[in-house]
């Protein structure tokens, strides 16, 4: 994907992140000349209508938001089955990375971040959009601590105040609200709960609930109370703990009514008059508590029947003796008959029920843990429990071949004997064909080798490949390899090999030939020409000048002086240097003439006044200058002109 251009304008530069559904790249918008973030749906979902629909809904939902604390969405498109969204690029790090670096954050910084998240949520909720995946990973911290909420990948525009997703629970389990964990209705207050978890993590350095599996963490959100933040961070004011406790109430009715309410509470929670306020406690309505209704017993039935008989009075208010006398025998016989019938019925039913249970009852067993056992051992354990099994093989980079990766149903569940246990067994690490990298530009090989654990890059010169092009690889293309166990060597061309051409001027031919040999070059044609340099001295080199680059073995043509030209004049000029009262002095004499500039002819320490004969070479176009230095200071500068004598 690196180097690919989407939509004719977005040049993909590098991968900067990714989740379960999409990969995020840094890209350059060539049309508007700006850096953007490019979210691309993973290839395995490219033909899944459900995922594509959810991916497009993300763009539609996020594009409807315009807020300084929400990542802007610029564009959405599709090209060659690649679904992508173009978003604002935020230079910085995620809140999760910040917490990982610092542990718990400074209190005022955590409150400042939380207030900005509330502002973003209030804007989204006002537009009927529920985020449903608020977590530190989706909160970007840009320059000057500007907070940007991103990844509305699970959000949905709705026409009411709630949002559901049938058949699945979406979100990150450590930041779930209880209603999300049970797969129920999730609305604005679900985002408030998740934000409460984020604040909890910012001020304590850890999440409220953790466990060995996502299911165990979700159950804790439903059933367990959080450890009060002040127990983990005693420096936390009671007012800040109250904000967190109110946001994390399991019953949505008792949470903040809106993100705006929570934001207003956060803005004042560090006021001095609130720091030691009373702890937050959820009030329960006792009238709605569950009432226990007693069962009706046979004794209560008899009392009720007796009262009915006593209520049959004469007109004068006294009991009717004939009714009582006649009713008692009839009632006793009738009751005895019913009791006998019911007793016989229950005895027969009991024996019949036990008989049927004996026929159809299958004993239950507890599923043993066979995960991380080799298949042969796992089958033996299941046979001992009288359980059947089905094997499904999977490639796995971490679990050795023939070892059980996981089982369904999981361990410690009660099932009937002869039940079928599905064993997912490792086929070991999957071999793949080594990709063909030779001839590719270096910037295009990143995705090709991202699965390999050990990749080494060497850079070497080449006359066959341009600079930055892969010219060799090990293993070779098409070879079957296991990425995690394979060492990959990639050789990248630095272009044609060159050597540095030495400066040959002023050398003799023999000296020049030795210098060229040391540099990996050869002596070319030697051409004698008159020059103002001493006879036998090189005054020109061709075609490569000193300091340039040449291919190894290249020939350098040498121009060698055959002596001075006829119009040259050699003049000897006496130079007197007086010491005066000085015991000694360091003398240096330089000459600039037809031979060149600042040629050093004398460097000497004298202990008495002395005279030096300085030889200069003049040409019709070049006079001479003699410069004398005494103890590093300019003593005299003398010009000698060319005089044409007829």
Q: Which residues are catalytic?
A: 133
Q: What are the Cα distances from residue 282, in Å, to 207, 218, 417?
A: 22, 22, 47
Rg (alpha carbons) of the chain, rounded to whole number: 47
* Residue (of 200, 203, 193) closest to 248 by Cα position: 193
Whether cis (ω within 30° of 0) applies to the bond prior to 475 is: yes
* Residue (of 258, 189, 291, 173) closest to 222 by Cα position: 173
Token digits of residue 619: 């040409």
Residue whose pair of structure tokens reads 């060159």 in the numeric block: 498
What span, in angstroms and rounded, lies between the C-alpha atoms of 614 and 637? 13
* Residue (of 176, 111, 121, 108) closest to 148 by Cα position: 121
62's enclosing H/E stretch is helix 49-63
Q: What angle do CA 117, 121, 122 make, to 5 degrees?
A: 115
Bridge partners (DSSP) of residue 454 are 487
Q: Dihedral sign, CA of 310, 311, 316, 321?
A: negative
Helix (H, G, I), strand (E, B), or coil: what is residue 443? helix
Helix (H, G, I), strand (E, B), or coil: what is residue 575? strand
Q: How many residues make up the chain in this entry? A: 646
In b/e form, how buried is each residue of 141-177, taking b as 16+ CB within 10 angstroms? beeeeebbbbbbbbbbbeeeeebebeeebbbbbbbbb
Q: What angle do CA 34, 39, 45 make, to 5 degrees?
A: 155
DSSP output for 115-150: HHHHHHHHHHHHTTEE-----GGGEEE-GGG-EEE-
Q: Within its chain, how far is the Cα of 367 from the centroid?
A: 38
CB 595 within 8 A of CB 615: no
Bridge partners (DSSP) of residue 17 are 24
Helix (H, G, I), strand (E, B), or coil: what is residue 338? helix
Kindly state the DSSP code that residue 71 receives in the 8-state scheme: -
Residue whose pair of structure tokens reads 């850096």 in the numeric block: 35
What span, in angstroms and rounded, lies between the C-alpha atoms of 281 and 241? 11
What lies within 8 Å, CB to CB, of 332 at 6+ separation is none
């Amino acid at each position: 994907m690196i180097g690919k251009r989407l939509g004719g304008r977005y040049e993909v530069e590098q991968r900067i992140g990714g989740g379960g559904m999409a990969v995020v790249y840094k890209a350059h918008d060539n049309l508007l000349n700006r850096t953007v973030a490019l979210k691309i749906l993973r290839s395995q979902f490219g033909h899944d209508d459900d995922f594509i629909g959810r991916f497009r809904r993300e763009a539609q939902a996020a594009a409807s938001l315009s807020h300084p604390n929400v990542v802007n969405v610029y564009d959405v498109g599709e090209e060659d089955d690649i679904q992508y969204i173009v978003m604002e690029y935020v230079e910085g790090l995620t809140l999760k990375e910040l917490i990982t670096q610092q542990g718990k954050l400074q209190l005022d910084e955590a409150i400042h971040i939380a207030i900005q998240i509330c502002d973003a949520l209030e804007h989204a909720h006002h537009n009927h959009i529920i985020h449903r995946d608020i977590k530190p990973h989706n909160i970007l911290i840009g320059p000057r601590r500007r907070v940007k909420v991103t990844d509305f990948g699970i959000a949905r525009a709705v026409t009411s105040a709630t949002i559901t997703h049938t058949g699945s629970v979406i979100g990150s389990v450590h930041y779930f609200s209880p209603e999300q964990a049970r797969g129920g209705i999730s609305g604005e207050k679900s985002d408030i709960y998740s934000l409460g978890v984020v604040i909890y993590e910012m001020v304590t350095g850890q999440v409220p609930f953790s466990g060995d599996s996502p299911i165990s963490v979700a159950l804790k959100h439903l059933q367990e109370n959080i450890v009060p933040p002040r127990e983990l961070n005693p420096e936390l004011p009671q007012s800040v703990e109250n904000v967190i406790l109110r946001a994390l109430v399991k019953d949505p009715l008792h949470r903040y009514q809106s993100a705006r309410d929570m934001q207003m509470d956060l803005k004042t929670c560090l006021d001095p008059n609130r720091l030691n306020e009373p702890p937050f406690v959820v009030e329960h309505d006792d009238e709605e508590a569950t009432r226990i209704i007693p069962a009706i017993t046979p004794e209560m039935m008899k009392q009720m029947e007796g009262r009915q008989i006593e209520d049959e009075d004469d007109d004068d208010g006294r009991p009717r003796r004939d009714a009582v006398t006649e009713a008692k025998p009839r009632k006793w016989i009738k009751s005895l008959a019913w009791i006998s019938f019911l007793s016989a019925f229950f005895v027969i039913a009991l024996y019949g029920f036990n008989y049927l249970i004996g026929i159809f009852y299958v004993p239950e067993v507890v599923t043993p843990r066979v995960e991380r056992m080799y298949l042969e051992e796992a089958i033996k354990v299941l046979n001992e429990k009288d359980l059947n099994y089905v094997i499904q093989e999977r490639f796995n980079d971490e679990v050795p071949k023939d070892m059980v990766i996981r089982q369904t149903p999981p361990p410690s569940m009660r099932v009937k004997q002869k039940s079928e246990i599905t064993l997912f067994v490792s086929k070991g690490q999957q071999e793949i064909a080594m990709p063909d990298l030779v001839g590719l530009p270096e910037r295009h090989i990143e995705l090709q080798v991202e699965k390999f654990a050990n990749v080494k890059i060497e850079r070497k010169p080449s006359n066959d490949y341009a600079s930055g092009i892969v010219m060799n690889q090990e293993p070779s293309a098409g070879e079957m390899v296991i990425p995690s166990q394979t060492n990959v060597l990639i050789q990248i061309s630095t272009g044609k090999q060159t050597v540095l051409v030495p400066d040959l001027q002023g050398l003799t031919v023999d000296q020049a030939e030795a210098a060229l040999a040391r540099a990996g070059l050869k002596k070319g044609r030697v051409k004698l020409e008159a020059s103002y340099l001493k006879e036998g001295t090189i005054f020109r080199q061709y075609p490569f000048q000193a300091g340039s680059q040449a291919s190894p073995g290249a020939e350098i043509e040498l121009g060698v002086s055959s002596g001075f030209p006829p119009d040259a004049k050699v003049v000897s000029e006496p130079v007197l240097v007086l010491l005066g009262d000085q015991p000694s002095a360091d003398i240096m004499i330089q000459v600039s003439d037809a031979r060149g500039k600042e040629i050093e002819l004398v460097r000497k320490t004298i202990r008495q006044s002395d005279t030096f004969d300085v030889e200069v070479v003049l040409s019709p176009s070049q006079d001479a200058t003699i410069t004398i230095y005494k103890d590093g200071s300019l003593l005299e500068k003398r010009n000698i002109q060319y005089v044409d004598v007829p």
